[in-house]
Structure 1
Amino acid sequence: MSTICPYCGVGCKLKIKDNKIFPDNYITNKGMMCVKGATLLDTIDSGRILHPLQDMKEISWSKATEIISTKFRKFYKKDKNSLGIYIGAQIPTEDQYLAVKLGKGYIGTPNFDSNVRLCMASAAYALKYSFGDPSPTASYDEIERAETFFLVGVNPASSFPVLWNRIISSRKRNGGKIIVIDPILTDTASQADIYIKIKPGRDIILLIAVYIKSYAWKVFK
């Protein structure tokens, strides 16, 4: 069976056979796998809650559904706008669609949100404002050709290990440089060719200075 690792945003493809996990040769992970994906089955099987709990006591799914629907009806009769639904970014797209249908379509509450708004919405707005499109401007293939990596406030060595391995391989192959801007000496910063430690909140000032100098020196034509 093939699946996609649910942990980070890299989207590594994995194979499961005989209750063991193996990396698949996919466009994102190129046959690589980090410790998060390798221990996925152990994580799922270790202390996972398999049934609904009320006051830390196991109850049936029908009982849990009844409790939730009763709570929903109570607030709906009072004011449907008092209901809100908040979901995570790691659930499948189909589940997100159903959650939206439940909240906005069936219940009728406009209060629907996700951590995607806090995580990606600001970047999407900046991309659309700068380039006219909210889509990311780089692809995995471009990592293989890159000669310079400019990382600001991110720690892919810990957060995206497979992606970080591809960056390290690209640096070695292309003779490139990794520049890291971060207040903290992270795992990524410790492996950088150039590490600039700034005070928290000063990244905008630094980036504006880089832009002004780049414009003056006509770095980007």
Structure 2
Amino acid sequence: MPSHLRPAVASVVLFSALTGLAYPFAITGIAQALMPRQANGSLIARGDGFVGSTLVGQSFTADRDFHGRPSATQAVDPADGTRTVDAPYNAANSGGSNLGPTSQKLVDRVKAAVAALGGGPDHPVPADAVTTSASGLDPDITPADAAAQAARVAAARGLPLDRVVALVRDGTQGPGLGIFGEARVNVLGLNLALDAAGGATTPPQKPGR
């Protein structure tokens, strides 16, 4: 019996050390050496602190700011611990709505969002302006969504429209390596660029909220 247990125990100890200690430490060290910013969360600094991450969206609702995708994240209802309530960009509860295309609740919500944006047969709105992402924490929007918001942001900030459009263009990132994903605009980065351009400023937000 001991002769059978000894190899098994040795294998568990060996592979625990390799996969549970050596490998994580090696990957962490390589990441810190080659790409420390990404390894530490791709944080965006402003002044003496951090205002967020390029990887995790925040909830912007003021007219002076570009808004991110709708968020389906939720939180515990403070009035009833057995229920949940909508909590946009709650980083502690990432997830989509899990509503399918046949869900009447989803249809009604999207129709209401389209109407709120003044959309219609002659005025289509970008899909990402009215649909949620799988994570509920999407930090990016499409260039089309950003372009649709430019006039509102320019008016609220007292900036020329062509200046805001130029910032959207400058902040547009192409697909990864030219082939992966689609063109996108980071919402927090764009709002901070607007602050630097002048006009009304964006107050610091809590990352992931």
TM-score by length of 1: 0.22
Query: RCO higher in 1 or 2 (8 Å CA, sep ≥ 6)?
Result: 2
Please report the TM-score for the alignment, with normalisation by the length of structure 2: 0.22
